Amino acid sequence: MRFSRSRRHGGFLSLDMTPMIDIVFLLLIFFLWTMQLVQDSRTELELPREAGDQSARTEPAGLIVNLLADGTIVEGDEPISLDRLRILALSTSSTPGDERRPRPLIRADRNAPAERLNQIMNVLRQSGLSGIRLATSPNS
């Protein structure tokens, strides 16, 4: 059986770039939208000014607890009680000795009552969470 050679020499292959451009724009919209959601969900706090840890590595936070200046505890975007925080902490904690488990992060307003911050830390420790981190803002 003989195959005939194509008579078109030097022909150009046409590529339609429209689907690729559509995907790039959809990805751009997705990332801009998620970045806006992250900004909206973060509670506005005046964090304590401290140099803190200057390491370049970032670490995911398992449970993020916000403490407002009036002593209100906020998780996500809703105020919670110490009992609800205890339940959340117990559901977050897993087997002891699990080093890969994300450590909780407390974002406390610099004008928040220290007694309330101590209560939050005690609840987290009693729930089996260790390595509790306190968010700070760099010195300016």
- In this predicted model, what pLDDT tens digit does every residue of 19-62 receive, in sequence order? 999 999 999 999 888 877 665 556 677 777 777 666 656 666 67
Domain-by-domain residue ranges, the chain?
A: 61-134
| Residue 28: exposure state from Cβ atoms within 10 A (0-12, 13-18, ≥19) | exposed
HSE, side-chain direction, 13 A CA sphere, residue 77: 6
Q: Which residues pair with 133 in a beta bridge?
A: 105
- pLDDT (tens digit, 9 = 90+) per residue, 55-89? 656 666 678 888 998 989 988 778 999 999 998 88
| Residue 120: exposure state from Cβ atoms within 10 A (0-12, 13-18, ≥19) | buried
Angle, CA of 85, 81 and 119, to the nearest 5°:
70
Q: What is the pLDDT of residue 13?
A: 78
Q: What is the CATH number of domain 61-134?
A: 3.30.420.270
Give this prediction's pTM.
Answer: 0.60
